[in-house]
Every structure is written in C-alpha cells, then in structure tokens.
Structure 1
Amino acid sequence: MNVDWQGAGDIQAIFGTLIDKELNCTVEERDRLSIPISNALIEKFARRGLYKYNLPAVWGGQEVGYAQWGRVLEKLGYLSTDLSFPFLISVRMSFISFLIAVGREDINNEYLVHLIEGKTGGAFAYTEDADAFSFVSRAVPSADGKTYTVNAVKKIVTGGETANYFLLFVHGDTADMQVFLVHADDPGVVVTPSVMHGCRSTGIACLTLTDVQLDKHRLLLATDGLSFAQRYFLNCRRSLQTTLFLGRARAVIETTVAYLQNTVRYDQQLIDMQHVQACIGEMYMALESSRTLVHYSLERQVRQESDVYWDAVASMAKYQAVEDVNKIALQALNLTGGWGYTESSGIGRAHRDFTALVAGADPQEKLKVDMGIRMVHDLDMMSRRSSKKES
C-alpha cells in the first residue's frame, strides 16, 4: 500500500509497528474465531497517544475536533486490515467524550484517567428492538431516592464484551430517558458475546441487567437523556464512524488494482482492459464523492454549522458512504473472482465488515424515510412563510 495516502505515513510512523505486528498479522485467526480486540492491546496504542488527538487540552489532548479526528480514523482504517480496531477506538473515544460532556467532576476524577490510558474501556448500551420512545428498559427509584432498581436488555453493544463500564439509556418513572453509568461487574449484570457477520473483533455483545441496584450517584442524566444522546453520541457519530470504512475502501481499491496488474487473461493484463479500467474508475469516484461529503459534514460540525440534535447533512453522508463502500467491495469481488473470496485477500472480509454500517447509526432504509420527512417538513414551512408574507 501507498502509506502516504492522505498523510497516512504520519500515523504509520507512530503506530505502524503495533498495527503490523499485533493487528494485521493476526487478523485472520481473530476474525475466524470472533476474538475481540483486547484492552491490553488498546492500552499500547493509548500509551503512544492515540486518544490524545481528540481529547480536550485540559485532559492532555490536542483537541483537534471531529474533522481531524475523522481523518485519523480514516488513516487507521486504511492501514489496519481489521476494521474492528478503529471502529472500537472510535467508540471508546466517544465514550470518553460523552463523560466529559456530562461535566460531573466526581465521575471524571474516578474514571477518566484509566479510560484515557486505555487501561479500562467503555461502551454505549443504547440499542433495543425498538425506537427510543418505546424502550422497555426501566429504572425505578427507591422510596428515599437513594438507589435505583434497573432492568434492561440491550441487544447490540459495540465493544460490550471487553467493556468495564456502560452508559445505559433507560426510561425512568416518567417517559423521559435517563442515563446511568453501569459497571460490568455490578451484581445482576450479564454480558453475552454475540457472533456477528462482520467487524467480529469489536466484541459486540448483549447486555442484560436483572434487578441491578445502582446508587444515585451513578445516575448521570436524570432528564432529557435522549437529547443528550443525540447531541453527544448518535448525531455526532453518524458521519464520523464512516471515515474508517472509507480508509479501508481505499485499501481495497489498491489491493484490487495490484491483483489486476499481475493477472493475465486472453494474453492481456486485466488492468489494460477498458471495461476493467471503467470499473476501477467507478470505484474511485464512489470513494472520493463519499469522502467529500463525509469530511464536509465533519467540518460543518467543527464550524458549529450543523444541527446538533439531528443533522441532515451528517445523515446523508452516512447513507451515501455506506452505499459506496459496499459498492466498492462488491465491485472488487467481481473483478478479482475467486481470489477475492479467499481469506488472505482481505476483500471478502472487508465486504462483510462494510455491511456492519448498513444498520449502524440508523438503518439505511430508515434514513431514507427520515430524509423524506425532513424534506416535506422544510417545504411545508417554506410554503407557510410565503403565505404569511402574501397575507
């Protein structure tokens, strides 16, 4: 690979040894057996400053913002043949950012140092088989308000298998959503690993809480938890999480071209056939058009031009990037034939990994509905404003 792509050489210089020797060399076995990325390995990357890119200066970070952090993740996706690693890193960093945004000094003092050092890790326990307004997970306060009894089932928790802590989103004794900090070793907490189609080493798990007793200081947000989640978890990550997949899509294109340059059919290199060149051109255009939209979306966030609760551009960026990376992987399989389906090629694995984004941060079909609703609403509001002016 050309490690200078988008300045990936800078990341290679700092983390390249770890990526090559502790990630890429063992990816096939880890993927085959669904072995999660360990906290010990993440700690090694943290020691070299991986989390510091997006950390606030007060916590020893560079505070580069979402746009530059997205570029770091993109480079990690390009260099790492296991997308589970940058995916998990992005979740762990978002967990840290969420805690900082809550602004509880006691919580920060107790948890943040070890989280930043990579010695511990956190995960978001949000997803249920329902939308946020229909969550069945509940927290019931005691009569004196000092403790809560929590019952919950969160079906898909990315990084849950190796997480020490969870941000749990539940309904309280009202319809409002609350957010609790849960420990993996709290009595009544059960973490069940899940075998997934792609990104198998992220340690996706099902989190179950049965009559778990939590002290009131573990309640991070008593009200308006959904709005906070939209602002500091769901909305801000929608386009951010696609960056690492775009980096890997670039690597897939390079791998495909290298194979075609060394493969002869009908006494001609495949790369010299114009139809093959047209296919590569399609892949290149798909990648760069999605990269343009995704990075534009992230730059809007940095400039505070985006809607912090539900941004249409971020949603479009996520939708388009998912469509395009899957198109690239499928085209690569079409061009490379049987070789592309071998484990050693990495293309088939990339194809499986890319499909993980189809459902993440709102499924593709739901995003189409949401965008349609948004467009109809905007046109309706424009019509009403025009009618008022005329009257």
Structure 2
Amino acid sequence: MADLQPIETALEALLKDVNPLDAESIALEAAAGRVLAEAVTAQLDVPPFDNSAMDGYALRAVDAGQWLPVSQRIAAGTPAQALALGSCARIFTGGEIPPGADCVVMQERVEVDGGRALMPADIPAGDNVRRQGRDVKSGAVLLSAGVRLEAAALGHLAGQGITQVNVRRRPRVALLSTGDEIIDPGTPLKPGQLYNSNRPMLKRLLENFGAEVVQLVSVPDNYAQTVALLHQAAEEADVVISTGGVSVGEEDHVKAALEALGQLDMWKLAIRPGKPLALGRLPRKEGSQARFVGLPGNPVSSFVGAWLFLRPLLGAMLVCPALTSLPVVTAKAGFATSTGPREHYMRVTLTFAPSGVTAAAFEDQNSGVLSSCINADALAVIPPNSDIAKNDAIRCLWLAS
C-alpha cells in the first residue's frame, strides 16, 4: 500500500494553481445557483420606510389606554399623512407608519365604535413597527463575492431593484464514459454489457455543483481513440472527467492516454471506495490547460469521488467557499466496523435527536451497490486501521450541494 496516496495529498494536487473563471453579466432571473463574481453594495434601505408589522392601528404610545378618533386609513402602498394629535390611524401590514406615530397595536386588541377606537394600555413605543433599514442599510455590503445565489440571496438582490448581476462563468465539463461493455439505456443488453448509470448520476451532481456539462462521450476500449477523444474534450471543456479506464487492466487506456497528452498528477489513493482515481492536466492549443479527473467505473466510487474531488475543484474555479469543503457533523456510530489500510467513506443517513446525532450505515457498502447512495445524506469517514464500535464518535461529511 506504500504507493497509495492519502486524500489530503490528492486534494492538494487537485487544487494547485486553479485559476478562477471569468465573470459575466446575466439577468437576475437567470442567476439561480450561480456564484457572485464581485460584492454587491446596497443602494437602498430595506425596508425603505418605517412600516407596520401587522394589521392594526398606529398611534403615539403616550395615547395608549384612550378612545382615539381614527383620522386616516393607510393600506400598503398608500402614502401616509402626519398623524393628527390625539388620534390614531387604521393601518395594514406593510403600510407606512405616519409621521408622529411610534407604535402599532394589533386590531384584535382594539375595540371600535364608529369612527373611534379604544386603545389598550401600556403599549411600548416601537411595538409592531419595522424600522427603516432594519434588514439592509444603504451603502452596506449586500452580498459578498463567492456567494451562491439561492432563493434568499436572489430575493435580497431583487429587494434592491437589481436586474443584472456579475457571476462566474459556469465551468464547462466534458463527461467521458469508457468501456465497450457500457451502453446507454434504451439499447437491448447483450451478454456482458451494462447500462451506463454513472452518466446521468454524475451529470446531475455536476450541475448541482455549478457546472455546465458540454460533452457526453462514450469512449471505446481503444488507445488511439481514447487519445483523440481526450484531446477533443480538452479543447472544449475546462474540466474533463472520465469514468472507468484508470485501473491497471489491459483495456484501461485512460491513464496512458493522459500521460501521452498531458501530465498525471496523482494516481491511486488510499481510500475506499475509489482507489483507482487519476488526477492530471490536458493541454489546449492556445497554451492553457484543462483539468482532468479520472473516476473509477464502479458507480459508488464515482459518486463518492464526485463529492470528494469534483465539488471542491469546481468550487475553487468558481471561487465559492461553500463548495470547496463539505460541512462536518460529529455523530454516534449506529454500527460497528473495522477498516484496513485505506480510509473508508461509508454511506450513512443521519438522525438528529436531543441526545445527539446518530449515523446509520447502509448494510451493503460494496462499491457496486449504488442503492447505498440513494438515501445517504452523509459520508462517514472511518480512518485506516480502525475498529469502530457502536456509539463511538465518528466524523461525517454532510452531502450538501
């Protein structure tokens, strides 16, 4: 096992000299999931004026406990007039607090008689008032560079009236499936053939990680064709990913083709699943390089490798800290296991309770059992040469895209 490298060494090689992708300006409505290339500064206070947090009556706190005439009605979107002394205003959620008022009482606490309303006593100033700038102050950093634009962030930008944002260009990825035995669904299986489960699985993961998959290529078990297809993929993609073909079999041509075209940075890792994993670079005509990641052909190995290597690589290209590392959860093992000289990444589900977090492992952890990944929400990291007993504390990587 001396030639097997730890995952830390592999990640260091993978992320060395990664260049951030260029920025582009796109419409906010098309920016879901994209990564901000530059910080955005707020131009407006949010909310832009003091407004009511509920339907009720706006008044001066000193007038609490009295019958007050209702001097105006303020719906959301209606300008408010200065509040007449000794009066209250009927107001609705989001309505502007009228100048002179300093609190709002909810309508359920008010007794109404014609044009008058009886206010309850002891209403504190500021009650049920959403102050101008409570959420955002003009001039403050609204969102930092590197933030991924999900639902709340998109709403935050829209609240400033923003229609265009500068984001990182999505990494272009070529996904190559190797092996004569791997065929696409829809074609009748012949003896010895398997349907390609890696392709749709990895395509979905890559898109969740922020990439644009620009090539889906089947690579035959032929060295010359492997070289040609790798070269073609590198010209179009920022990252070239292959599944299978990186082991030591006579029909595994990817490693040799990579070495002939570019450079091999790392091969064979001390992890389970996923030992035969190749990392390298492929040259382009204009002098730049495409990154190469050769994943094992077993579907679980590809699944685990995508989370451990593809996600941080794409995160580094997008300059997105949230993608470069997975959240860590400490849990109690709901199982017992022993490991050999390789670090084991077990597919587990996490249960949260007042007593703590428990990790339950899928019974069959074989690298060919893709069903172990379907309900997995974390990877339990079991160090090499370890004996884990039930209820031992273990480190889990939360699978958050």
State whether TM-score is above 0.5: no
Larger % of strand: which? 2
TM range (shorter): under 0.3
Which structure has the bigger radius of gyration? 2
**TM-score, normalised on structure 2?**
0.22
